[in-house]
């Protein structure tokens, strides 16, 4: 279990469910209902041994006849239940954290003649934790431009602005001292993704993504930081076999938050995942995967390593 203090290992069983309903009977209207759920039961842990996630989503879009524009609306609700390291808050090292998050997102999309797509999206969400008085709301706007038919590279880019209001979190200065007022932050970012379109009999495209994000709070500067995310992925596929490799790195540097005798707070997150699937017969697959995560920081409370090995059987209809 990933934690900075007293890490533990455990075997587990995992169950995943993914289902969706898509209606395109009328070319002008498209409706999608989506559900994803996963649960893990850790056998060697005496408490908080169940971890789970449930995501439900409803999408509707309308495109008038002979129009390049379409209008969409998305509702999404997420339930999260996971043991987490809460030692920095003075709680026991691991504590079960349960959250409920709801989001609504209207959007406007425009499709070009050569495969390009422009989309503007508004979003509003609210999240509440069960174990703490911690409620927050977010409102944002994003604009994206993509072309998924261009060769030899498919690409997309997105700019976004997001404002968060943490109704129960007290604002802090760079040393962590409480200030009058609750914390509010503003996120500004740019993300890009490139995918090679070339492929041969078994080797598929390579994808590379990056995101630059700047966060500034309203008081004290405790939550001010710059973050750079990069990702690299590769896929291999034959008639019976499919394999994926991915590498991600998040580099975060705080401009005001201090760490005792270590200067400004910083952390780096690395994750590497390898997975392989084999088709057994129609609708049935077997899989194996390994994921390694490493967090490095000048604050020991945010440094840990995590390894997950798993094998399983999947049914897809």
Q: What is the mean pLDDT of the chain?
A: 89
The pLDDT value given to residue 87:
60
> Could you tell me the pLDDT band of residue 232, with boundaries at 50, 70 and 90?
very high
- Residue 150 phi, psi dihedral angles, 5° rounding: -70, 140
Helix (H), strand (E) counts: the chain: 0, 15
Q: What percent of the chain has pLDDT over 90?
A: 61
Q: At a CB cut-off of 8 Å and minimum separation 6, what does 295 contact?
A: 2, 267, 268, 269, 270, 302, 303, 304, 305
Mean pLDDT of 272-280: 95
Predicted confidence (pLDDT) per residue in 105-148, tens digit? 999 999 888 888 999 999 999 999 888 888 999 999 999 999 87
Mean pLDDT of 185-204: 85
Is 89 exposed, middle or buried, given 0-12, 13-18 or 19+ CB atoms closer than 10 A? exposed
Sign of CA dihedral 158, 161, 167, 170: positive
> Could you tell me the pLDDT band of residue 282, with boundaries at 50, 70 and 90?
confident
Please state the CATH superfamily assignment of the domain spanning residues 133-317 in this structure: TonB-dependent receptor, beta-barrel domain (2.40.170.20)
Mean pLDDT of 189-215: 87
Q: Distance (Å, rounded) from C-alpha 262 to C-alpha 220? A: 19
Contact 217, 223 (CB under 8 A): yes
Pairing of strands 178-196, 153-172: antiparallel
Identify the CA nearest to 123 among candidates 159, 163, 157, 158: 163
Mean pLDDT of 218-230: 94
Angle at CA of residue 27, ends 24 and 29, nearest 5°: 65
Q: Where in the chain is the domain with CATH 2.40.170.20?
A: 133-317
Mean pLDDT of 92-112: 88
Mean pLDDT of 57-65: 94
Question: Two tokens at 6?
Answer: 């007293």
The pLDDT value given to residue 3:
66
pLDDT at 1 over 80: no
The pLDDT value given to residue 88:
60
Predicted confidence (pLDDT) per residue in 13-52, tens digit? 999 999 999 998 888 999 999 999 999 888 887 665 788 9
* Buried residues in 247-283 as b, exposed as e (16+ CB within 10 A): ebbbebebebbbbeeeeebbbebebebeebbebeeee
Identify the CA nearest to 185 among candidates 140, 241, 131, 130: 140
């Amino acid at each position: 279990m990933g934690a900075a203090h007293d890490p533990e290992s455990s075997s587990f069983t995992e169950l995943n469910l993914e289902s969706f309903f898509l209606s395109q009977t009328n070319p002008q209207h498209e409706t999608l209902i989506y559900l994803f759920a996963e649960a893990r039961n850790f056998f060697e842990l005496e408490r908080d041994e169940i971890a789970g996630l449930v995501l439900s989503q409803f999408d509707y879009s309308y495109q008038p006849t002979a129009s390049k524009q379409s209008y969409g609306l998305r509702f999404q609700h997420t339930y999260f239940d996971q043991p987490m390291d809460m030692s920095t808050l003075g709680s026991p090292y691991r504590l079960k954290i349960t959250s409920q998050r709801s989001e609504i997102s209207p959007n406007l999309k425009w499709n070009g003649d050569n495969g390009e797509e422009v989309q503007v999206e508004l979003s509003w969400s609210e999240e509440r934790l069960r174990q703490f008085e911690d409620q927050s709301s977010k409102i944002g706007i994003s604009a994206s431009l993509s072309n998924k038919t261009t060769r030899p590279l498919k690409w997309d880019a997105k700019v976004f602005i997001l404002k968060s209001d943490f109704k129960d979190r007290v604002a802090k200065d760079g040393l962590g001292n409480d200030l009058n007022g609750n914390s509010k932050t503003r996120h500004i970012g740019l993300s890009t993704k490139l995918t090679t379109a070339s492929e041969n009999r078994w080797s598929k495209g390579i994808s590379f993504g990056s995101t630059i994000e700047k966060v500034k709070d309203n008081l004290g500067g405790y939550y001010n930081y710059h973050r750079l995310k990069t990702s690299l992925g590769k896929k291999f596929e034959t008639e019976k076999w499919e394999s994926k490799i991915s590498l991600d790195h998040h580099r975060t540097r705080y401009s005001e938050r201090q760490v005792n005798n270590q200067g400004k707070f910083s952390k780096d997150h690395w994750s590497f995942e390898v997975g392989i699937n084999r088709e057994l017969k129609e609708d049935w697959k077997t899989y194996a995967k390994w994921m390694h995560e490493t967090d490095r920081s000048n604050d020991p409370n945010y440094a840990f390593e995590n390894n997950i090995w798993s094998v399983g059987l999947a049914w897809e209809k």
